[in-house]
Amino acid sequence: MDLRDRLLVQVSVRDVYDAVTLAGHPGSGLVFTGQAGHDAVRMARRSGYDGPLLADRRRYAGSARVRGTARLSADWIADQVEAGATAPLTDSGYIGKGDHESLHATLEQAVQWDSVIAVLPVHPRWVAEDRPVLLRTIADYGTPVALVVEDGPPYRPLPLPLLSAGVPALAALAHGAEWAAIGVREVLRHLYPEPHEIRGGWRRGGARSAFVPERLEFVPVERLSDGTCDCSTCRGRPLRRLASAEEIEVNTHNAKVLHRLHNRLLRSTHRERWWRELTA
């Protein structure tokens, strides 16, 4: 199966039962996150889900994250293939600022496997000042990659697949990336620097945010304004009502409005220009 032009939804393993609701439409697919990701892939396949499925182990995130020089697991690759993943992702560690050793270690290991996607979780300087080196190194190894960009200043979109992103996933697709994944909740839309402070608004289950197409951003449900939404979940009701809705309803709204935006992107004759005008 092809990942081309897909806007995937990155979810937790516990979201497996909501998978079809969140990624049932054409052009979509799922990324299950965490070390049981392959089990969720298997479950989704068994339940008849036929879209693209990936598993991101995410060893690169959190306070116990591993460095990019860590040995990649062959078992993790095999588990994904056996579970029915569309393409296996490496269980890469984090590639810090100027950490060329980690970048090379990850790519060097990844090229030994056939049709494996090398996950490159990078410090934001890699997509800014060090961008030419990053692009050249990736081209030299010639293996497919997926970037995870740690939180930092806005950067010029790259034509490379993205995991665990927010709106930059759409920007990447508009700039020639083969596919990209938008996280279903805040923690899956970011790679936080470590150690990081948890800012206000966090609560059990994670802060819920609704995507507001006019603003092109995710807004915490408590701060939604008066606008209405005509997606098939909201049906013309005010967005603000999502503040008291279940998380699945907020996420279903998100999936629908993002799907619509994604469709517009795919239909545009010049994607980069379309994106530029949209964000102007």
| Min dist. Cβ of residue 212 to Zn ion (A) | 9
Task: Tell how strand 145-149 and strand 118-122 pair up.
Answer: parallel
- Tokens at 78, concatenated: 């095999």
- Tokens at 211, concatenated: 């995507």
| Min dist. Cβ of residue 268 to Zn ion (A) | 22
| Min dist. Cβ of residue 257 to Zn ion (A) | 6
- Cβ-based nearer residue to Zn ion, 229 or 265: 229
- Cβ-based nearer residue to Zn ion, 116 or 234: 234
| Min dist. Cβ of residue 205 to Zn ion (A) | 20
Phi, psi of 10 (to 5 degrees): -90, 120
In angstroms, what CA-CA distances link 38 with 30, 56, 105, 252?
A: 12, 9, 24, 23
Please report which residue ranges of the chain form alpha helices under DSSP H: 19-23, 37-46, 74-83, 100-110, 131-141, 168-174, 247-267, 271-279
Distance of alpha carbon 120 from alpha carbon 106, whole angstroms: 8
Tokens 């993790």 locate to 76
| Min dist. Cβ of residue 234 to Zn ion (A) | 3
| Min dist. Cβ of residue 254 to Zn ion (A) | 8
- Cβ-based nearer residue to Zn ion, 160 or 170: 170
Check: CB of residue 230 under 8 Å from CB of residue 213: no
Chain residues that interact with Zn ion, rule: CB under 5 A: 229, 231, 234, 253
| Min dist. Cβ of residue 263 to Zn ion (A) | 15
Give the number of residues written for the chain: 280
- Cβ-based nearer residue to Zn ion, 203 or 235: 235
Whose CA is closest to 52, among 34, 25, 90? Answer: 25
Tally helices (H) and strands (E) across the chain. Answer: 8, 9
- Cβ-based nearer residue to Zn ion, 125 or 253: 253
Check: CB of residue 88 under 8 Å from CB of residue 117: yes
| Min dist. Cβ of residue 260 to Zn ion (A) | 10
Check: CB of residue 63 under 8 Å from CB of residue 41: no
- Enumerate residues 6+ apart whose C-beta is below 8 A from 78: none
